[in-house]
Structure 1
Protein backbone atom coordinates (compact mmCIF):
# COMPACT_ATOMS: atom_id res chain seq x y z
CA UNK A 1 0.00 0.00 0.00
CA UNK A 2 1.43 3.39 -1.03
CA UNK A 3 1.93 5.87 1.79
CA UNK A 4 -0.13 9.02 1.37
CA UNK A 5 1.98 12.17 1.06
CA UNK A 6 0.55 15.09 3.08
CA UNK A 7 -0.52 18.02 0.92
CA UNK A 8 -0.93 21.61 2.06
CA UNK A 9 -3.46 23.43 -0.11
CA UNK A 10 -3.54 27.20 -0.38
CA UNK A 11 -4.70 30.12 -2.49
CA UNK A 12 -2.79 33.28 -3.34
CA UNK A 13 -4.32 36.52 -4.57
CA UNK A 14 -2.35 38.02 -7.45
CA UNK A 15 -3.27 40.81 -9.89
CA UNK A 16 -6.40 39.68 -11.71
CA UNK A 17 -6.51 36.17 -10.27
CA UNK A 18 -6.62 33.89 -7.24
CA UNK A 19 -4.17 31.02 -7.67
CA UNK A 20 -4.72 27.53 -6.29
CA UNK A 21 -1.50 25.86 -5.18
CA UNK A 22 -0.38 22.71 -3.37
CA UNK A 23 2.78 22.02 -1.37
CA UNK A 24 4.31 18.65 -0.51
CA UNK A 25 7.46 17.55 1.30
CA UNK A 26 10.43 19.49 2.62
CA UNK A 27 13.83 20.56 1.37
CA UNK A 28 14.89 22.70 -1.60
CA UNK A 29 11.99 24.10 -3.60
CA UNK A 30 10.98 22.43 -6.88
CA UNK A 31 8.09 23.88 -8.86
CA UNK A 32 6.13 21.70 -11.31
CA UNK A 33 3.93 23.62 -13.73
CA UNK A 34 1.95 22.92 -16.89
CA UNK A 35 -0.54 24.84 -19.04
CA UNK A 36 -3.35 24.20 -19.61
CA UNK A 37 -3.04 21.04 -17.47
CA UNK A 38 -3.66 21.70 -13.79
CA UNK A 39 -1.90 20.55 -10.62
CA UNK A 40 -3.55 17.12 -10.67
CA UNK A 41 -1.40 16.05 -13.63
CA UNK A 42 1.74 16.45 -11.52
CA UNK A 43 0.44 14.87 -8.30
CA UNK A 44 2.11 11.41 -8.75
CA UNK A 45 5.46 13.00 -9.66
CA UNK A 46 5.17 15.48 -6.79
CA UNK A 47 4.52 12.62 -4.35
CA UNK A 48 7.69 10.85 -5.52
CA UNK A 49 9.83 13.99 -5.11
CA UNK A 50 8.40 15.05 -1.74
CA UNK A 51 10.88 12.96 0.24
CA UNK A 52 13.76 15.15 -0.94
CA UNK A 53 12.19 18.45 -1.97
CA UNK A 54 9.48 20.92 -1.14
CA UNK A 55 7.30 20.51 -4.22
CA UNK A 56 4.97 23.27 -5.38
CA UNK A 57 2.24 22.57 -7.94
CA UNK A 58 -0.44 24.97 -9.14
CA UNK A 59 -3.36 25.41 -11.50
CA UNK A 60 -2.48 28.09 -14.07
CA UNK A 61 -4.66 31.19 -13.97
CA UNK A 62 -8.08 30.65 -15.52
CA UNK A 63 -7.88 26.86 -15.23
CA UNK A 64 -9.84 24.69 -12.76
CA UNK A 65 -9.35 26.08 -9.23
CA UNK A 66 -7.33 29.19 -10.19
CA UNK A 67 -9.97 31.83 -10.80
CA UNK A 68 -9.54 35.00 -12.82
CA UNK A 69 -11.41 38.27 -12.44
CA UNK A 70 -11.93 38.61 -16.20
CA UNK A 71 -12.43 35.45 -18.23
CA UNK A 72 -12.21 37.50 -21.42
CA UNK A 73 -8.59 38.51 -20.70
CA UNK A 74 -5.64 36.54 -22.10
CA UNK A 75 -3.40 34.48 -19.81
CA UNK A 76 -0.17 35.82 -21.30
CA UNK A 77 3.25 34.34 -20.66
CA UNK A 78 4.21 37.51 -18.81
CA UNK A 79 1.24 37.14 -16.44
CA UNK A 80 1.86 33.44 -15.89
CA UNK A 81 5.56 34.07 -15.19
CA UNK A 82 4.60 36.76 -12.69
CA UNK A 83 2.20 34.31 -11.03
CA UNK A 84 5.04 31.81 -10.59
CA UNK A 85 7.35 34.48 -9.18
CA UNK A 86 4.70 35.53 -6.66
CA UNK A 87 4.04 31.92 -5.59
CA UNK A 88 7.77 31.32 -5.06
CA UNK A 89 8.09 34.55 -3.09
CA UNK A 90 5.01 33.61 -1.04
CA UNK A 91 6.63 30.35 0.08
CA UNK A 92 9.89 32.18 0.92
CA UNK A 93 11.93 29.21 -0.31
CA UNK A 94 13.40 30.59 -3.53
CA UNK A 95 15.22 30.65 -5.74
CA UNK A 96 13.60 27.49 -7.04
CA UNK A 97 14.21 24.77 -9.56
CA UNK A 98 11.28 24.90 -11.98
CA UNK A 99 10.10 22.13 -14.30
CA UNK A 100 7.60 23.40 -16.82
CA UNK A 101 6.00 21.11 -19.38
CA UNK A 102 4.26 22.09 -22.62
CA UNK A 103 2.65 25.51 -22.09
CA UNK A 104 4.08 25.42 -18.58
CA UNK A 105 7.55 25.20 -20.11
CA UNK A 106 6.85 28.52 -21.85
CA UNK A 107 5.68 29.96 -18.51
CA UNK A 108 8.92 28.75 -16.91
CA UNK A 109 11.02 30.33 -19.67
CA UNK A 110 9.10 33.53 -19.05
CA UNK A 111 10.00 33.27 -15.37
CA UNK A 112 13.70 32.96 -16.23
CA UNK A 113 13.45 35.92 -18.61
CA UNK A 114 11.30 38.33 -16.59
CA UNK A 115 12.04 37.24 -12.99
CA UNK A 116 15.53 35.70 -13.04
CA UNK A 117 15.93 36.01 -9.29
CA UNK A 118 13.05 33.60 -8.66
CA UNK A 119 14.74 30.51 -10.10
CA UNK A 120 18.21 29.03 -10.25
CA UNK A 121 17.22 26.32 -12.77
CA UNK A 122 14.47 26.15 -15.37
CA UNK A 123 13.79 22.86 -17.13
CA UNK A 124 11.65 23.60 -20.17
CA UNK A 125 10.13 20.25 -21.15
CA UNK A 126 8.82 20.41 -24.73
CA UNK A 127 7.81 24.08 -24.99
CA UNK A 128 5.51 24.69 -28.01
CA UNK A 129 7.40 27.71 -29.34
CA UNK A 130 5.98 27.72 -32.86
CA UNK A 131 7.71 30.95 -33.86
CA UNK A 132 11.14 29.28 -33.63
CA UNK A 133 10.60 26.79 -36.46
CA UNK A 134 10.77 27.41 -40.20
CA UNK A 135 7.13 26.56 -40.92
CA UNK A 136 5.91 29.18 -38.44
CA UNK A 137 3.65 30.88 -41.02
CA UNK A 138 1.87 27.61 -41.82
CA UNK A 139 1.52 26.85 -38.11
CA UNK A 140 -0.04 30.27 -37.49
CA UNK A 141 -2.60 29.65 -40.24
CA UNK A 142 -3.43 26.14 -39.03
CA UNK A 143 -3.76 27.34 -35.43
CA UNK A 144 -6.10 30.15 -36.47
CA UNK A 145 -8.21 27.62 -38.39
CA UNK A 146 -8.30 25.33 -35.36
CA UNK A 147 -9.52 28.13 -33.10
CA UNK A 148 -12.15 29.07 -35.69
CA UNK A 149 -13.31 25.44 -35.69
CA UNK A 150 -13.62 25.55 -31.91
CA UNK A 151 -15.53 28.83 -32.01
CA UNK A 152 -17.91 27.36 -34.58
CA UNK A 153 -19.09 24.89 -31.95
CA UNK A 154 -17.00 21.88 -32.98
CA UNK A 155 -14.61 21.14 -30.08
CA UNK A 156 -14.10 17.57 -31.26
CA UNK A 157 -13.00 18.79 -34.68
CA UNK A 158 -10.75 21.39 -33.08
CA UNK A 159 -9.06 18.74 -30.97
CA UNK A 160 -8.51 16.60 -34.05
CA UNK A 161 -6.82 19.61 -35.68
CA UNK A 162 -4.77 20.17 -32.52
CA UNK A 163 -3.41 16.64 -32.67
CA UNK A 164 -2.62 17.01 -36.38
CA UNK A 165 -0.71 20.26 -35.77
CA UNK A 166 1.20 18.65 -32.90
CA UNK A 167 1.81 15.54 -35.03
CA UNK A 168 0.48 13.36 -32.24
CA UNK A 169 -1.37 10.19 -33.19
CA UNK A 170 -4.02 8.69 -30.93
CA UNK A 171 -5.82 5.38 -31.45
CA UNK A 172 -9.44 5.98 -32.46
CA UNK A 173 -10.74 4.46 -29.24
CA UNK A 174 -8.57 6.79 -27.14
CA UNK A 175 -9.67 9.82 -29.15
CA UNK A 176 -13.32 8.85 -28.70
CA UNK A 177 -12.80 8.24 -24.99
CA UNK A 178 -11.26 11.72 -24.61
CA UNK A 179 -13.88 13.55 -26.67
CA UNK A 180 -17.06 11.49 -26.40
CA UNK A 181 -19.78 11.48 -23.80
CA UNK A 182 -21.05 14.24 -21.57
CA UNK A 183 -18.42 16.45 -19.96
CA UNK A 184 -18.64 18.40 -16.72
CA UNK A 185 -19.02 22.20 -16.90
CA UNK A 186 -15.57 22.84 -15.43
CA UNK A 187 -13.84 20.82 -18.13
CA UNK A 188 -15.79 22.72 -20.79
CA UNK A 189 -14.86 26.05 -19.19
CA UNK A 190 -11.17 25.08 -18.98
CA UNK A 191 -11.17 23.99 -22.61
CA UNK A 192 -12.74 27.28 -23.68
CA UNK A 193 -10.19 29.31 -21.74
CA UNK A 194 -7.36 27.32 -23.31
CA UNK A 195 -8.56 27.83 -26.89
CA UNK A 196 -9.67 31.43 -26.43
CA UNK A 197 -7.11 32.93 -24.06
CA UNK A 198 -4.07 30.71 -23.43
CA UNK A 199 -3.08 28.93 -26.62
CA UNK A 200 -2.14 31.86 -28.86
CA UNK A 201 -0.11 33.73 -26.21
CA UNK A 202 1.79 30.48 -25.58
CA UNK A 203 2.64 29.35 -29.10
CA UNK A 204 3.27 32.93 -30.23
CA UNK A 205 5.78 33.71 -27.49
CA UNK A 206 9.30 34.47 -28.68
CA UNK A 207 11.80 34.16 -25.81
CA UNK A 208 14.69 36.58 -25.53
CA UNK A 209 17.34 34.00 -26.26
CA UNK A 210 20.22 36.40 -25.54
CA UNK A 211 18.81 37.21 -22.11
CA UNK A 212 18.31 33.52 -21.33
CA UNK A 213 21.74 32.54 -22.60
CA UNK A 214 23.54 35.32 -20.73
CA UNK A 215 21.44 35.21 -17.57
CA UNK A 216 22.20 33.48 -14.28
CA UNK A 217 19.37 30.95 -14.54
CA UNK A 218 20.48 27.52 -15.69
CA UNK A 219 18.28 26.57 -18.67
CA UNK A 220 17.67 22.92 -19.55
CA UNK A 221 15.63 22.01 -22.62
CA UNK A 222 13.91 18.67 -22.10
CA UNK A 223 12.50 16.39 -24.79
CA UNK A 224 10.67 13.09 -24.45
CA UNK A 225 12.52 10.09 -25.83
CA UNK A 226 9.32 9.02 -27.60
CA UNK A 227 8.46 12.46 -29.02
CA UNK A 228 10.58 12.21 -32.18
CA UNK A 229 8.88 13.90 -35.13
CA UNK A 230 6.29 15.71 -33.04
CA UNK A 231 5.99 19.50 -33.19
CA UNK A 232 7.27 20.02 -29.65
CA UNK A 233 10.33 17.91 -30.44
CA UNK A 234 11.09 20.36 -33.27
CA UNK A 235 10.38 23.52 -31.27
CA UNK A 236 12.45 22.26 -28.34
CA UNK A 237 15.41 21.44 -30.56
CA UNK A 238 15.12 24.87 -32.19
CA UNK A 239 15.26 26.52 -28.76
CA UNK A 240 18.23 24.40 -27.64
CA UNK A 241 20.10 25.27 -30.84
CA UNK A 242 19.54 28.99 -30.30
CA UNK A 243 20.72 28.69 -26.71
CA UNK A 244 23.78 26.74 -27.81
CA UNK A 245 23.02 23.75 -25.59
CA UNK A 246 22.20 20.09 -26.21
CA UNK A 247 18.66 18.97 -25.35
CA UNK A 248 18.22 16.70 -22.35
CA UNK A 249 16.20 13.56 -22.95
CA UNK A 250 13.46 12.44 -20.56
CA UNK A 251 11.47 9.18 -20.48
CA UNK A 252 8.23 8.99 -22.41
CA UNK A 253 6.68 11.51 -24.72
CA UNK A 254 4.99 14.89 -24.28
CA UNK A 255 3.31 13.81 -21.04
CA UNK A 256 5.97 11.39 -19.83
CA UNK A 257 5.78 12.91 -16.35
CA UNK A 258 2.18 11.66 -16.07
CA UNK A 259 2.48 8.37 -17.98
CA UNK A 260 5.51 7.07 -16.04
CA UNK A 261 6.18 9.38 -13.08
CA UNK A 262 8.70 7.01 -11.46
CA UNK A 263 10.98 6.94 -14.51
CA UNK A 264 10.52 10.67 -15.02
CA UNK A 265 11.34 11.37 -11.36
CA UNK A 266 14.57 9.39 -11.60
CA UNK A 267 15.67 11.41 -14.62
CA UNK A 268 14.61 14.69 -13.04
CA UNK A 269 16.60 13.96 -9.89
CA UNK A 270 19.70 13.37 -12.01
CA UNK A 271 19.15 16.63 -13.87
CA UNK A 272 18.63 18.56 -10.66
CA UNK A 273 21.76 17.05 -9.19
CA UNK A 274 23.65 18.65 -12.05
CA UNK A 275 22.51 22.12 -10.98
Structure 2
Protein backbone atom coordinates (compact mmCIF):
# COMPACT_ATOMS: atom_id res chain seq x y z
CA UNK A 1 0.00 0.00 0.00
CA UNK A 2 1.33 3.42 -0.94
CA UNK A 3 1.63 5.80 2.00
CA UNK A 4 1.85 9.46 1.11
CA UNK A 5 3.89 11.72 3.37
CA UNK A 6 1.82 14.68 4.52
CA UNK A 7 3.38 17.89 5.80
CA UNK A 8 0.97 20.05 7.78
CA UNK A 9 1.41 23.71 8.54
CA UNK A 10 -0.32 26.88 9.68
CA UNK A 11 -0.17 30.25 7.94
CA UNK A 12 -1.23 33.50 9.56
CA UNK A 13 -3.32 35.70 7.24
CA UNK A 14 -5.45 38.77 7.99
CA UNK A 15 -8.27 37.62 10.25
CA UNK A 16 -7.39 33.94 10.50
CA UNK A 17 -4.82 31.19 10.94
CA UNK A 18 -5.03 28.75 8.01
CA UNK A 19 -4.37 25.05 8.39
CA UNK A 20 -2.91 23.47 5.27
CA UNK A 21 -1.41 20.17 4.13
CA UNK A 22 1.15 19.44 1.41
CA UNK A 23 1.90 16.05 -0.15
CA UNK A 24 3.74 14.73 -3.19
CA UNK A 25 6.18 16.20 -5.68
CA UNK A 26 5.81 17.93 -9.02
CA UNK A 27 3.87 20.96 -10.28
CA UNK A 28 1.62 22.63 -7.72
CA UNK A 29 -2.03 21.56 -7.66
CA UNK A 30 -4.39 23.13 -5.14
CA UNK A 31 -7.58 21.30 -4.13
CA UNK A 32 -10.19 23.69 -2.74
CA UNK A 33 -13.51 22.94 -1.10
CA UNK A 34 -16.02 25.03 0.82
CA UNK A 35 -17.17 23.98 3.29
CA UNK A 36 -15.20 20.75 2.75
CA UNK A 37 -11.60 20.90 3.91
CA UNK A 38 -8.53 18.72 4.17
CA UNK A 39 -10.27 15.68 5.68
CA UNK A 40 -12.58 15.23 2.69
CA UNK A 41 -9.97 16.09 0.08
CA UNK A 42 -7.22 13.83 1.48
CA UNK A 43 -8.08 10.64 -0.49
CA UNK A 44 -8.06 12.53 -3.80
CA UNK A 45 -4.92 14.41 -2.77
CA UNK A 46 -3.13 11.14 -1.99
CA UNK A 47 -3.84 9.84 -5.49
CA UNK A 48 -2.77 13.05 -7.23
CA UNK A 49 0.41 13.35 -5.16
CA UNK A 50 2.03 10.72 -7.39
CA UNK A 51 2.81 13.45 -9.94
CA UNK A 52 1.90 16.75 -8.26
CA UNK A 53 2.71 18.74 -5.18
CA UNK A 54 -0.82 18.84 -3.78
CA UNK A 55 -1.93 21.61 -1.42
CA UNK A 56 -5.14 21.29 0.56
CA UNK A 57 -6.48 23.60 3.24
CA UNK A 58 -9.35 23.99 5.65
CA UNK A 59 -11.19 27.13 4.52
CA UNK A 60 -11.32 29.79 7.21
CA UNK A 61 -13.91 29.00 9.85
CA UNK A 62 -13.81 25.26 9.03
CA UNK A 63 -11.77 22.53 10.70
CA UNK A 64 -8.42 23.72 11.98
CA UNK A 65 -8.48 27.09 10.17
CA UNK A 66 -9.53 29.35 13.01
CA UNK A 67 -10.81 32.88 12.36
CA UNK A 68 -10.11 35.68 14.81
CA UNK A 69 -13.85 36.45 14.87
CA UNK A 70 -15.92 33.23 14.74
CA UNK A 71 -19.00 35.23 13.72
CA UNK A 72 -17.35 36.99 10.77
CA UNK A 73 -18.70 35.90 7.40
CA UNK A 74 -16.53 34.00 4.94
CA UNK A 75 -16.76 35.26 1.36
CA UNK A 76 -15.26 33.92 -1.88
CA UNK A 77 -13.02 37.00 -2.03
CA UNK A 78 -11.64 36.31 1.46
CA UNK A 79 -11.09 32.62 0.73
CA UNK A 80 -9.45 33.46 -2.62
CA UNK A 81 -7.03 35.78 -0.83
CA UNK A 82 -6.29 32.95 1.61
CA UNK A 83 -5.46 30.53 -1.22
CA UNK A 84 -3.35 33.19 -2.94
CA UNK A 85 -1.41 33.67 0.30
CA UNK A 86 -0.82 29.92 0.60
CA UNK A 87 0.44 29.67 -2.99
CA UNK A 88 2.79 32.60 -2.33
CA UNK A 89 3.91 30.99 0.94
CA UNK A 90 4.86 27.76 -0.84
CA UNK A 91 6.63 29.77 -3.57
CA UNK A 92 5.63 27.27 -6.25
CA UNK A 93 3.04 29.22 -8.24
CA UNK A 94 1.31 29.89 -10.42
CA UNK A 95 -0.78 26.84 -9.58
CA UNK A 96 -3.39 24.64 -11.12
CA UNK A 97 -6.50 24.76 -8.93
CA UNK A 98 -9.34 22.27 -8.65
CA UNK A 99 -12.26 23.80 -6.78
CA UNK A 100 -15.49 22.00 -6.04
CA UNK A 101 -18.88 23.34 -4.95
CA UNK A 102 -18.24 26.44 -2.82
CA UNK A 103 -14.54 25.81 -3.38
CA UNK A 104 -15.13 26.19 -7.11
CA UNK A 105 -16.46 29.68 -6.37
CA UNK A 106 -13.29 30.32 -4.33
CA UNK A 107 -11.18 29.15 -7.28
CA UNK A 108 -13.03 31.41 -9.70
CA UNK A 109 -12.58 34.37 -7.34
CA UNK A 110 -8.88 33.50 -7.15
CA UNK A 111 -8.53 33.61 -10.95
CA UNK A 112 -10.53 36.83 -11.06
CA UNK A 113 -8.78 38.73 -8.28
CA UNK A 114 -5.30 37.14 -8.10
CA UNK A 115 -4.56 36.10 -11.69
CA UNK A 116 -0.83 35.84 -11.12
CA UNK A 117 -1.29 32.96 -8.66
CA UNK A 118 -3.15 30.54 -10.97
CA UNK A 119 -2.70 29.25 -14.51
CA UNK A 120 -5.61 26.76 -14.65
CA UNK A 121 -8.90 26.55 -12.77
CA UNK A 122 -11.14 23.51 -12.89
CA UNK A 123 -14.40 24.75 -11.35
CA UNK A 124 -16.42 21.64 -10.50
CA UNK A 125 -20.13 22.37 -9.97
CA UNK A 126 -19.90 25.95 -8.65
CA UNK A 127 -23.22 27.13 -7.12
CA UNK A 128 -23.17 30.49 -8.94
CA UNK A 129 -26.93 30.87 -8.67
CA UNK A 130 -26.83 34.60 -9.46
CA UNK A 131 -26.40 33.53 -13.12
CA UNK A 132 -29.73 31.72 -13.18
CA UNK A 133 -32.94 33.29 -14.51
CA UNK A 134 -34.63 32.44 -11.19
CA UNK A 135 -31.83 33.97 -9.12
CA UNK A 136 -34.27 35.90 -6.90
CA UNK A 137 -36.08 32.68 -5.96
CA UNK A 138 -32.77 30.95 -5.26
CA UNK A 139 -31.72 33.88 -3.05
CA UNK A 140 -34.95 33.61 -1.08
CA UNK A 141 -34.49 29.86 -0.71
CA UNK A 142 -31.02 30.34 0.76
CA UNK A 143 -32.36 32.89 3.25
CA UNK A 144 -35.07 30.39 4.24
CA UNK A 145 -32.45 27.66 4.75
CA UNK A 146 -30.31 29.94 6.92
CA UNK A 147 -33.30 31.12 8.95
CA UNK A 148 -34.44 27.53 9.52
CA UNK A 149 -31.00 26.56 10.80
CA UNK A 150 -30.76 29.68 12.98
CA UNK A 151 -34.13 28.80 14.54
CA UNK A 152 -32.69 25.47 15.68
CA UNK A 153 -34.29 23.16 13.11
CA UNK A 154 -31.15 21.46 11.83
CA UNK A 155 -32.89 18.55 10.04
CA UNK A 156 -35.30 21.01 8.45
CA UNK A 157 -32.43 23.16 7.22
CA UNK A 158 -30.78 20.15 5.60
CA UNK A 159 -34.06 19.07 3.99
CA UNK A 160 -34.55 22.57 2.58
CA UNK A 161 -30.94 22.64 1.38
CA UNK A 162 -31.22 19.32 -0.47
CA UNK A 163 -34.57 20.33 -1.94
CA UNK A 164 -33.20 23.66 -3.16
CA UNK A 165 -30.18 21.89 -4.67
CA UNK A 166 -32.50 19.33 -6.33
CA UNK A 167 -30.36 16.56 -4.86
CA UNK A 168 -32.54 13.44 -4.55
CA UNK A 169 -32.91 11.89 -1.13
CA UNK A 170 -32.92 8.11 -0.70
CA UNK A 171 -35.81 7.30 1.65
CA UNK A 172 -34.21 3.94 2.47
CA UNK A 173 -30.79 5.35 3.36
CA UNK A 174 -29.76 4.83 6.97
CA UNK A 175 -29.52 7.95 9.11
CA UNK A 176 -26.07 9.52 9.13
CA UNK A 177 -23.91 9.02 12.21
CA UNK A 178 -24.19 11.63 14.91
CA UNK A 179 -21.81 14.53 14.18
CA UNK A 180 -18.89 15.18 16.47
CA UNK A 181 -18.21 18.61 17.99
CA UNK A 182 -16.01 19.75 15.09
CA UNK A 183 -18.56 18.68 12.49
CA UNK A 184 -21.27 20.57 14.35
CA UNK A 185 -19.09 23.69 14.50
CA UNK A 186 -18.30 23.41 10.77
CA UNK A 187 -21.97 22.93 9.96
CA UNK A 188 -22.93 25.99 11.99
CA UNK A 189 -20.29 28.15 10.31
CA UNK A 190 -21.34 26.98 6.86
CA UNK A 191 -25.04 27.67 7.36
CA UNK A 192 -24.66 30.97 9.20
CA UNK A 193 -21.46 32.50 7.78
CA UNK A 194 -20.50 30.88 4.47
CA UNK A 195 -23.52 29.83 2.42
CA UNK A 196 -24.95 33.29 1.77
CA UNK A 197 -21.72 34.90 0.55
CA UNK A 198 -20.87 31.92 -1.64
CA UNK A 199 -24.20 31.82 -3.45
CA UNK A 200 -24.38 35.61 -3.87
CA UNK A 201 -21.00 35.81 -5.62
CA UNK A 202 -21.27 36.72 -9.29
CA UNK A 203 -18.44 35.96 -11.74
CA UNK A 204 -17.00 38.67 -13.96
CA UNK A 205 -16.75 37.16 -17.44
CA UNK A 206 -14.27 39.76 -18.65
CA UNK A 207 -11.93 39.26 -15.71
CA UNK A 208 -12.09 35.48 -16.01
CA UNK A 209 -11.58 35.27 -19.76
CA UNK A 210 -9.01 38.07 -19.85
CA UNK A 211 -6.96 37.15 -16.80
CA UNK A 212 -4.69 34.64 -18.49
CA UNK A 213 -5.86 31.53 -16.64
CA UNK A 214 -7.50 28.62 -18.41
CA UNK A 215 -10.97 28.15 -16.92
CA UNK A 216 -12.68 24.76 -17.19
CA UNK A 217 -16.22 24.24 -15.89
CA UNK A 218 -16.78 20.68 -14.71
CA UNK A 219 -20.08 18.94 -14.00
CA UNK A 220 -20.89 15.45 -12.75
CA UNK A 221 -22.52 13.01 -15.11
CA UNK A 222 -24.90 12.02 -12.32
CA UNK A 223 -25.85 15.63 -11.50
CA UNK A 224 -28.30 16.15 -14.36
CA UNK A 225 -31.16 18.40 -13.29
CA UNK A 226 -29.57 19.49 -10.04
CA UNK A 227 -28.99 23.16 -9.33
CA UNK A 228 -25.22 22.87 -9.81
CA UNK A 229 -25.83 21.28 -13.21
CA UNK A 230 -27.78 24.41 -14.12
CA UNK A 231 -25.25 26.83 -12.64
CA UNK A 232 -22.34 25.04 -14.34
CA UNK A 233 -24.08 25.31 -17.70
CA UNK A 234 -24.81 28.99 -17.08
CA UNK A 235 -21.19 29.71 -16.16
CA UNK A 236 -19.84 27.87 -19.20
CA UNK A 237 -22.22 29.83 -21.43
CA UNK A 238 -21.04 33.08 -19.84
CA UNK A 239 -17.45 32.13 -20.62
CA UNK A 240 -18.24 30.91 -24.14
CA UNK A 241 -17.32 27.29 -23.39
CA UNK A 242 -19.08 24.00 -22.69
CA UNK A 243 -19.21 22.11 -19.38
CA UNK A 244 -16.74 19.24 -19.17
CA UNK A 245 -18.13 15.95 -17.80
CA UNK A 246 -16.75 14.28 -14.69
CA UNK A 247 -17.77 10.89 -13.33
CA UNK A 248 -20.34 10.72 -10.55
CA UNK A 249 -22.24 13.46 -8.83
CA UNK A 250 -21.62 16.52 -6.69
CA UNK A 251 -19.28 14.82 -4.19
CA UNK A 252 -17.87 12.09 -6.46
CA UNK A 253 -14.33 13.12 -5.49
CA UNK A 254 -15.15 11.89 -1.97
CA UNK A 255 -17.33 8.91 -2.89
CA UNK A 256 -15.05 7.48 -5.60
CA UNK A 257 -11.70 9.30 -5.77
CA UNK A 258 -10.09 6.37 -7.63
CA UNK A 259 -12.36 7.01 -10.62
CA UNK A 260 -12.34 10.78 -10.22
CA UNK A 261 -8.56 11.32 -10.11
CA UNK A 262 -7.75 10.04 -13.65
CA UNK A 263 -10.45 12.24 -15.15
CA UNK A 264 -9.12 15.27 -13.31
CA UNK A 265 -5.63 14.48 -14.62
CA UNK A 266 -7.01 14.35 -18.18
CA UNK A 267 -8.74 17.71 -17.80
CA UNK A 268 -5.68 19.33 -16.24
CA UNK A 269 -3.53 18.05 -19.11
CA UNK A 270 -5.04 20.43 -21.63
CA UNK A 271 -7.88 21.38 -23.96
CA UNK A 272 -7.39 18.34 -26.19
CA UNK A 273 -8.55 16.15 -23.32
CA UNK A 274 -11.73 18.09 -22.53
Give the drift of 1:72. Answer: 1.2
Which structure 2 residues correspond to residues 1-275 of structure 1 after superposition, within 5 A? 2-174=1-173, 177-178=175-176, 182-274=178-270
Counterpart-to-counterpart distance in 1, 2:192 and 2:142: 12
Task: Give the TM-score of the pair, scaled to structure 2.
Answer: 0.97
The runs of at least 4 consecutive aligned structure 1 residues that moved more than 6 Å come to none
- The CA distance in 2 between the partners of 1:18 and 1:245, in whole Å, is 37
Distance 1:193 1:67 in 2: 11
- Residue 177 (structure 1) shift: 2.0
Counterpart-to-counterpart distance in 1, 2:168 and 2:244: 23
In the comparison of the two structures, how many residue pairs are matched? 271
CA distance in 2, matches of 1:4, 1:177: 32
SS in 2 for 1:186: helix
Higher mean alpha-carbon deviation, 99-108 vs 263-272, is at 263-272
Q: Which runs of 5+ in 2 are unaligned?
A: none
Query: What are the superposed Cα offsets for residues 64-83 of structure 1, whole Å, 9 maximum, x if unpaired?
Result: 11000001111111100000
Residue 115 to residue 151, structure 1, CA distance change in 2 (3 Å): same
Look up the SS of the partner of 1:23 in the other structure.
strand
Provide the rounded CA distance (Å) in 2 between the counterparts of 1:218 and 1:258.
Answer: 25
CA distance in 1, matches of 2:140, 2:77: 24
CA distance in 2, matches of 1:224, 1:216: 26
1:122-176 residue CA offsets vs partner (Å, 9 max, x unmatched): 11000001100011111111111111111110011000000000000121343x5
Per mean C-alpha deviation after superposition, the further-off stretch among 138-147 and 77-86 is 138-147
TM normalised by structure 1 equals 0.96
In 1, the alpha carbon distance for the partners of 2:198 and 2:228 equals 12
